[in-house]
Structure 1
Amino acid sequence: MEEVIVVEGGERLKGEVQVSGAKNAALPILAATLLAEGSFILDNIPQLEDVRTMTELLSTLGAKIISRKSSLYVDTCRIISHEAPYELVKRMRASVLVLGPLLARFRRAKVALPGGCSIGARPIDFHLEGLRKMGARLRVDGGFVEAEAPRGLRGKEIVLGFPSVTATENLMMAATLAKGKTVIHQAAKEPEVVALGHFLQTMGAKIEGLGTETIFIEGLEGLQPAGYRIIADRIETGTFLMAVAAAGGEITIRGACPEHLQTVINTLMDAGLEISWEGETIYARQSHPLRAVDIVTAPYPGFPTDLQAQFMVCMTQAKGISVIRETIFENRFQHALELKRMGAEIKLAGKQVAIVRGGGKLSGAKVRATDLRAGASLILAGLAATGRTVVQEVHHLDRGYENIVEKLAGLGANIQRLKGDELLEQAFSK
């Protein structure tokens, strides 16, 4: 039977928690190892389903992967394939990130169209338009993107229609081996994009403008293998901050990167969460009722869409009415329906606006995780609720949170992961 996460609400959080490496930095950096022949050592790699999918994909292409706790050894000397199969790509949208590196180094690639969370349409048009402008011949057929550039890619000026993170990453990787200079306008500025750029620079790439809306890349004939330490996961950090905001208590978060979360921190402080930080350590305390605060999700440095669901839970516990506008994905309020089953007062105004009347009590219920961040929000709701909450379809959480049950339990939460039959046995034993 499928596993579930069971939360008994009402426990205030207390203690310390260590943040893992960022999934959304690890995945493109793993893809970037395809750009050079040799051995790489990557540290602070999170143990997640998405990371396992990416390493399995690299292995299918011919890379040798050795895992040692939070480190990965990647040997790309014997890449034997340029095709990313549907069986792997369908499990994770970020698999499309191998398209640019394969095309740049081997001058051909065949990559299945991606899958991932069901939070709305996320086309790869910007990826394809940019690669086509760089001289690639592309064909989309039978669920695959087939690309070739027999004479290699050529540097060009590319204007993205939206600061897409994965499009920026794919085109940046492709441009490192293109002939001449590539300029990416309206580029994504997320810390994970900057981390990829820094990794490419350690490989010898010539890149300027990281963290700005215009990135300049001077293509080279080749790159060299390098080592790198993955940055802290800002979304996991934000999730723990919102957990203590929703449930109450006082926690210390170690290994974080506060400068990557300034918009989130400022918003939570406006809502009444007490936050301070020093170096890589963040201290958070919730001792008074929260205040309602409006948010609008936006590309970095705006409020991240990946923390919108968790923040909605916080607003169910706040005094007043808050308005949450989702501008990145058109189908990212699925968690709202599950929260309403727990007693939350939430009104949806179309697909992009949620109005939350806070201050009411949440009651434990059986709920369903519809995607990765929705799953996290339901756990947070369970922490704040009275009674038992059972979160189903928790496989989504395995894609983006390393040991979230164990970490929350270490903070004093009454939470455990059970198989469905174990939960049934518990019910009959009471």
Structure 2
Amino acid sequence: MTGSDGNSVLLLREAAPYVYQHRDKTFVIAFPGEVVEQDSFRRLIQDIAIIAALGCRIVIVHGTRAQINQRLAVAGRVSHFHHNIRVTAPDDIPLVEEAVGHLRIRIEKLLSHALNQPSFAGEDIGICSGNYLTAQPLGIIDGVDYSHTGKIRRIAHALIAQQLDSHNIVLVSPLGYSPSGETYNLDYEQVALSTAKELAADKIIFLSDHDLQLPRELVAGQVNHDPSASPFLLKIASLLLHSEIERVHLLNAAQDGALLLELYTRDGVGSMVATEQFESLRAATVEDISGILELIRPLEQRGVLIKRSREQLELEIGKFHIITRDREVIACVALYDTDAPEVAELACLVVNPQYRGGNRGDKLLRHVAQLAKAQGKTRLLVLTTQTTDWFRERGFVKGSVEELPANKKSLYNFQRNSQVLFQELA
């Protein structure tokens, strides 16, 4: 087997659980009109077709700012914006409708071509677009009349869900219609978030037309106070904070295969903006027992940790603290009292191998040390067979069995021959 074959096998193995996990999940994928003009857009459409063929329920929301600007410029009209929102004059509406209609047909054509390739034969996936949005005027803000720029009044989510149930890709354009027959130009980012909320979508992905060069995780509230944040990022963060959506994912549309890598690899390739911390350290509860057991079982089977039954863990769950990442337990530690009132025992410090390297072990160690100090402890004890150097590098010194508190000394397993280490809590 060649190196290339080996890489393909590894990729397939990594992707397999996500194919199962994402089946029948609803994803809202949104992008600005600039993305449609990129050379990579055809490949992006092919990737969306692949995701749909793998059983995902796909809603596409597209923007049209670039296309509207172009048509207005050709017609000799000036584009007006206030707070980065287009002011759509009544005379602009025919050009807006023309731009949106042309772009919708272009996307449908590319999707139809991708879905009719031999590799998708028999999948019977269609593309459906329509009047899913009822709109109303945005109104007058700061004395500026936005005229035919609107906001969403209602989304025909049941109709969209019906199309998704029929294995169709739903294409939503940023135009809404009032009950009186008026057309309103809508903000595509708002359309995407509102549609995702109504459908209770499992994931919302925004594709940018350029590399945003962002960290892997951001908190929306912090973005709003970052003077270096781009207008696009500020807008997403602001909309997120005023919605009931917990998080969105941002990708660079020009990166080949970005959607597939984000959805079907462990770490993905994009950035996530969340309304709250994506990864958190907290006290464990009974709901976390299964996650802790899954984390520590491999080490118990190798004899690195002493085996704990579920019943024992249920009794001791109040001693455990965990780091969760997107509701998954990825690290844990326990802090026990001993017969010596000044000594606390640190035990069961485990970090998921996939998430080592992020100083999570140090984070847990600092956390339990602070807890022990708050309880009036002056020494931290650990018994270990495999990680002596790690603890000694962090200030622990070697002790002896004779120094153990009475309850730990009576239970000491000489066959395991664990190293006794202490740290003074200054």
TM tier relative to shorter chain: under 0.3
- TM-score normalised to the size of structure 1? 0.25
Structure with greater helix percent: 2
Question: Rg bigger for which structure?
Answer: 2
Q: Which structure exhibits the higher relative contact order, with contacts defined as CA atoms closer than 8 Å and separated by 6 or more residues?
A: 1
